[in-house]
């Protein structure tokens, strides 16, 4: 199965340009599954809720999701893409999942990062797994990396690949996702953005280095820190269905849930 990411430098507020650029990359990617960054169509640094409300779109009937569905049908690609979702006068930091047969589902970011708490409503979808035929996929968004429970739930529900749209500003997630891969024996695809946003007296530098990790904790590919790029690689999904880390150790069956009550 050919899986990959598109590392982008979206321009704040320029939805049509950002979507057109992503579509031209998808058109040439020749992938079965491709992941785009968090908020790839709007940019990241909303100054206030009103600004987010103006740029957010309904799912699946909004402009961006419709455009993604068109290109997914044309190229027969499954796409996971981060957008600001408008729902009942609330804005969620969401990812839409679309494919050759149209709209598949939405994940709403559960763990909001820093000032996102002033803009977005915390996600209420839980951690869902989508069967796309060749693989089962789950989605987490950016700062969700800091909560291993999210990836664990997805893996327990059968996800072979954890798709991870991101706008990373801290230097940790690329390393952490290697751990999420080995402890759950799954592939992970982190699609990060690059560039800088300066708005309202705040400047954020996004770290690039989008990557794909394997169920054996290999860094299969990693992008640059500062260039837009598309990377697609061939992976063997059956590897993610073998949860034995030694002949005698199974990463799910060996869990001691009788000792984990404090977790909740």
Kindly name the residue from 21, 67, 85, 109 that is annotated as catalytic: 109
Adjacent-strand bridge partners of 81: 96
Extract the tokens encoding 191.
């699609």
Answer for which of 47, 169, 176, 182 binds ligand ACM (CB under 6 A) is 169
Based on the number of CB atoms within 10 Å of its own CB, is 259 exposed (0-12), middle (13-18) or buried (19 or more)? exposed
12 is an interface residue for ligand ACM by CB under 6 A: no
45 is an interface residue for ligand ACM by CB under 6 A: no
Distance in angstroms (rounded) separating the CA atoms of residues 191 and 82 = 10
Closest approach, Cβ 121 to ligand ACM, in A, equals 15
| 3-class secondary-structure state, position 15 | helix
109 given a catalytic annotation: yes
140 is an interface residue for ligand ACM by CB under 6 A: no
Question: Which 109-128 residues touch ligand ACM, going by CB under 6 A?
Answer: 113
Answer for which of 153, 161, 168, 189 binds ligand ACM (CB under 6 A) is 168
Largest CA distance in the chain: 55
Question: Which 207-226 residues touch ligand ACM, going by CB under 6 A?
Answer: none
Binding window for ligand ACM (CB under 6 A); candidates: 22-30, 45-53, 163-171, 227-235: 163-171
Extract the tokens encoding 103.
């709209």
State the residue for tokens 């770290």: 207
Number of residues located near ligand ACM, criterion CB under 6 A: 7
27 given a catalytic annotation: no
142 given a catalytic annotation: yes
38 is an interface residue for ligand ACM by CB under 6 A: yes
142 is an interface residue for ligand ACM by CB under 6 A: yes
Based on the number of CB atoms within 10 Å of its own CB, is 239 exposed (0-12), middle (13-18) or buried (19 or more)? middle
Full DSSP string of 71-85: HHHHHT-EEEEEEEE
36 is an interface residue for ligand ACM by CB under 6 A: no
167 is an interface residue for ligand ACM by CB under 6 A: yes
Distance in angstroms (rounded) separating the CA atoms of residues 205 and 183 = 30
Extract the tokens encoding 150.
């999210």
Kindly name the residue from 142, 163, 197, 228 that is annotated as catalytic: 142
Extract the tokens encoding 237.
């999904």
Kindly name the residue from 38, 51, 116, 228 that is annotated as catalytic: 38
Adjacent-strand bridge partners of 40: none
Sites of contact with ligand ACM (CB under 6 A): 38, 113, 142-143, 167-169
Active site members:
38, 109, 142
């Amino acid at each position: 199965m050919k899986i990959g990411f598109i590392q982008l430098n979206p321009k704040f507020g320029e939805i049509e340009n950002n979507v057109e650029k992503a579509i031209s990359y998808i058109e040439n990617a020749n992938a079965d599954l491709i992941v785009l960054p968090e908020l790839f169509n709007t940019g990241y640094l909303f100054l206030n809720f009103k600004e987010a409300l103006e740029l957010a779109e309904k799912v699946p009937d909004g402009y961006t999701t419709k455009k993604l569905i068109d290109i997914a049908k044309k190229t027969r690609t499954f796409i996971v893409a981060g957008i600001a979702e408008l729902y009942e006068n609330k804005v969620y930091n969401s990812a839409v999942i679309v494919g050759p047969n149209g709209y598949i589902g939405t994940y709403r970011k559960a763990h909001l990062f820093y000032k996102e708490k002033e803009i977005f409503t915390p996600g209420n979808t839980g951690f869902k797994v989508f069967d796309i035929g060749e693989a089962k996929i789950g989605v987490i968004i950016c700062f969700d990396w800091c909560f291993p429970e999210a990836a664990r739930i997805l893996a327990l529900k059968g996800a072979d690949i954890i798709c991870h749209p991101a706008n990373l500003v801290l230097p940790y997630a690329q390393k952490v996702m290697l751990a999420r891969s080995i402890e759950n024996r799954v592939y992970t695809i982190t699609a990060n953005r690059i560039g800088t946003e300066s708005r309202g007296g705040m400047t954020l530098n996004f770290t690039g280095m989008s990557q794909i990790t394997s169920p054996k904790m290999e860094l299969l590919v990693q992008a640059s820190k500062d260039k837009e790029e598309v990377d697609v690689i061939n992976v063997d999904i059956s590897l993610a269905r073998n949860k034995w880390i030694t002949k005698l150790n199974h990463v799910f069956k060996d869990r001691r849930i009788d000792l984990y009550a404090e977790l909740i």
